[in-house]
Amino acid sequence: MTNIKTKIGKVELTNPILVASGTFGYGEESDEFIDLNQLGGIVTKSITVHPREGNPSPRIVETPSGMLNSIGLANIGVERYISEMLPKYTDLDTAVIMNIAGSSQEEYIDVMKRVESVSNNLTGYEINISCPNVGKDGMEFGVDCDLTFQLTSELRQLTEKLLIIKLSPNVTDIAAIAQSAEAAGADAVSAINTVVGMSINPVTRKSNVYTKLCGLSGPAIKPVGVASVYQISQSISIPVIGIGGIITGEDVVEYLLAGASAVQVGTANYRHPAAGLSILDEFIDFCEKNNISDLTELIADLQDDS
Ligand code: SIN
């Protein structure tokens, strides 16, 4: 039996498969289709200080091997998250990571302060500095090393829980942003959020998504995700959580070889909410067939040709 436990900061996950923020609601919506406790962890939908309706529809469109979305961070706001969601997580036996978004440093801080002021069993936070769908506010921090450093430092002072910074591929040098997050005290980074994309109806000549520019996810972006994880893991020593187009167990292996310590399954959850568990089964199967005794044997074990 392969040991598939993995460590992110001081937290040990029972396995490397988490579900990605925004593709799994707040967790509770899927619990009739999937035993949540079998996942390595759940990253809940981005939460902002105030509730948000999100962008007008259409907000999602399928593309070859991918999906474009522009939800606009629709969410219930931090107060309802605290009163309605946090109590539901107390019975779970898996890592629950809260994703936080904001349009200013103060907003991120406000959300985290409110959550930290109540008793909860969250494992940690993933900080969304990489949403491409809310204008410049969504990515302002994620494209700037200094802002990433400042925001991460501020949040680091507020919590001892796991602090993960979610990075955007829509930058010149993703590894430099990761280095800023590490220098400011992040426990890990997750990469990648969606790639900016667009889809136009040739007959109506209109955009297929209301906001025109939106975020591409799914297998179409897996090579971008794997390359980003590789570049990041060569530049920092904190763990990297790989995201982008994972639909099979071998996709997980690919991300681990590029340097990830765990992965998040996103768009595949729209096909089936239990996708994470079938991917986990395939991953275990791969490890056993290839005589891998411990998952750590795979992490950053990319071999050279020669
Ligand atoms: C959205 O709400 O538009 C997507 C969230 C994200 O890409 O960070």
User: pLDDT tens, 75-110?
Assistant: 999 999 999 999 999 999 999 999 999 999 999 999
- Confirm or reject: Cβ of 22 under 6 Å from ligand 1: yes
How much is the pTM?
0.97
- Confirm or reject: Cβ of 194 under 6 Å from ligand 1: yes
Indicate whether 57 pLDDT > 90.
Answer: yes
The share of the chain scoring above pLDDT 90, in percent, equals 93
In 3D space, the residue among 285, 255, 288, 269 whose CA is nearest the CA of residue 16 turns out to be 255
Indicate whether 247 pLDDT > 80.
Answer: yes
Give tens-digit pLDDT for 2-42: 999 999 999 999 999 999 999 999 988 887 889 999 999 99
Q: Give the mean model confidence (pLDDT) for residues 229-235.
A: 98
Atom index in ligand 1 nearest the CA of residue 74 equals 2
Residue type, 251: D
Range of the structural domain that residue 284 is part of: 6-54+71-195+217-297
Distance 279 CA to ligand 1 centre (A): 23
Examine residue 60 and state whether it is found in any structural domain, yes or no. Answer: no
Examine residue 111 and state whether it is found in any structural domain, yes or no. Answer: yes
Indicate whether 137 pLDDT > 90.
Answer: no
Examine residue 84 and state whether it is found in any structural domain, yes or no. Answer: yes
Indicate whether 272 pLDDT > 80.
Answer: yes
Give tens-digit pLDDT for 108-125: 999 999 999 999 999 999
The total number of structural domains in the chain stands at 1
Atom index in ligand 1 nearest the CA of residue 193 equals 7
Ranges assigned E (strand) in the chain: 6-8, 11-13, 17-19, 41-47, 60-63, 66-69, 95-100, 124-128, 162-166, 188-191, 195-197, 214-217, 240-243, 262-265
Distance 131 CA to ligand 1 centre (A): 5
Examine residue 23 and state whether it is found in any structural domain, yes or no. Answer: yes
Examine residue 149 and state whether it is found in any structural domain, yes or no. Answer: yes
Distance 287 CA to ligand 1 centre (A): 33
Question: How far is 243 from 252, CA to CA, in rounded Å?
Answer: 9
- Confirm or reject: Cβ of 73 under 6 Å from ligand 1: yes
Atom index in ligand 1 nearest the CA of residue 73 equals 2
Question: How far is 91 from 21, CA to CA, in rounded Å?
Answer: 20
Question: How far is 292 from 4, CA to CA, in rounded Å?
Answer: 10
Q: Measuring from atom 5 of ligand 1, which residue has the nearest CA?
A: 131
> What's the whole-number average pLDDT of the chain?
96
- Confirm or reject: Cβ of 21 under 6 Å from ligand 1: no
- Confirm or reject: Cβ of 133 under 6 Å from ligand 1: yes
Question: How far is 199 from 177, CA to CA, in rounded Å?
Answer: 28
Examine residue 271 and state whether it is found in any structural domain, yes or no. Answer: yes
Determine the pLDDT at residue 32: 83
Specify the CATH number for the domain of residue 103.
Answer: 3.20.20.70
Distance 220 CA to ligand 1 centre (A): 17
Examine residue 100 and state whether it is found in any structural domain, yes or no. Answer: yes
Examine residue 303 and state whether it is found in any structural domain, yes or no. Answer: no
pLDDT-derived band at 306 (thresholds 50, 70, 90) equals: low
Q: What amino acid positions are annotated as catalytic residues? A: 131
- Confirm or reject: Cβ of 70 under 6 Å from ligand 1: yes
Atom index in ligand 1 nearest the CA of residue 131 equals 8
Helix (H) or strand (E) holding 286: helix 275-289
- Confirm or reject: Cβ of 131 under 6 Å from ligand 1: yes
Give tens-digit pLDDT for 175-212: 999 999 999 999 999 999 999 999 999 999 999 999 99
